[in-house]
Each structure stands twice: as C-alpha cells, then as structure tokens.
Amino acid sequence: MAFRPHPARAPSVLLREAKPLKAIFGHAKRLGHLQRLLESQLQPAAREHCHVASWREGSLLLIVTDGHWATRLRYQQKRLLRQLQVFDEFASLTRILFKVQPPTVLAKVAGHTLDLSVDAAQTIQATADGITDPALRAALERLASHAKPKPN
C-alpha cells in the first residue's frame, strides 16, 4: 500500500483551520499589536532597539538590543508604565522587565565591498549598451564603473 500525502493547501487556509498554526498566528498578531502600542510611546531612536517578548500576569518583558538602551529605558520605566496603562491592552500592567539580547544577525561590516573584475565590468557595460530603459542603463553603468583595475 503506497503512502499518499495529503493534498497541498493554501497558507491562508492552514492559518485559519490548523489549530497549532492558528494559535501561533494569533499570538504573533497580538505581539505585533502590542509592539505598535509600545512604539507609539517610545522615543523614535529607541524604537528599533526595543521589542515586546511577552505580556502575561501584569508583566511586560521587553527585549533590548544592548545595555546602553536598557539603561536609558530603565530611567524612563515609570513614565512608560503610566503611558502604557492608558491602553486597554495594558490596563493590568504592573511592571516592565528589560532583558538585554544582542541581535543574532551580524551587522554588515562597513566599507567592505566585493571587488568587481575588469572582465565582469566590461560584460555589464556591454549589457547596459543594449538597454533602452534609461534608469536601468544608468544603474548598470554605475555598477560597471566599480571595477578594480588589474594589478600590473
């Protein structure tokens, strides 16, 4: 007897019908909503460094990218607590906890670029010569201009 896999279903159907996925999707939507409310009360510079991790039993756990931002936010903790309690979602908020967790994705090293050979630049320039769209042609010509000359 051969195994017959279930027919594929659209992701939207899975999110609506599969109970585990539905619960995860609902939790993600809820955290996204809480994140937007939090960001509305944070300084613009702090928004990218602070994310909602969990909200349960009156405690809001925020993940902060580094100790500097955690310290700054701890100084503003009482004000932030009062401002968030205004929202119905945070009506029972009693404390805010901060956890420092550096981003797992390494930031791109500034100034590091890949070298473009002269042959590759010539090929790109030849392609640009055959393009009629002015914006695309200009972009290809800029790319071709980054070629590194061959060492002698």
Domain boundary pick from 83, 100, 117: 100
62 exposure class (CB count in 10 Å sphere: 0-12, 13-18, 19+): buried
State residue 18's pLDDT score.
77
Question: Could you tell me if 16 and 71 lie in one domain?
Answer: yes
Determine the Cα–Cα distance for residues 147 and 50; give it in Å rounded to an integer: 40
Question: Could you tell me if 54 and 116 lie in one domain?
Answer: no
Sorted by sequence, the CB contacts under 8 Å of residue 118 that are 6+ apart come out as 147, 148, 149, 150
The tens digit of pLDDT for each residue in 37-83 reads 999 999 999 999 999 999 999 999 999 999 999 999 999 999 999 99
Q: Dig out the tokens for 69 from the structure.
A: 């931002």
Question: Could you tell me if 35 and 92 lie in one domain?
Answer: yes
Structural domain including 95 reads: 11-100
CATH of the domain at 55: 3.30.300.180
Is 21 a residue whose pLDDT tops 70?
A: yes
Q: Is residue 5 in a domain?
A: no
Q: Is residue 133 in a domain?
A: yes
State residue 148's pLDDT score.
72
Q: Is residue 24 in a domain?
A: yes
Q: Is residue 2 in a domain?
A: no
Question: Could you tell me if 144 and 86 lie in one domain?
Answer: no
Give pTM, 2 decimals. Answer: 0.60
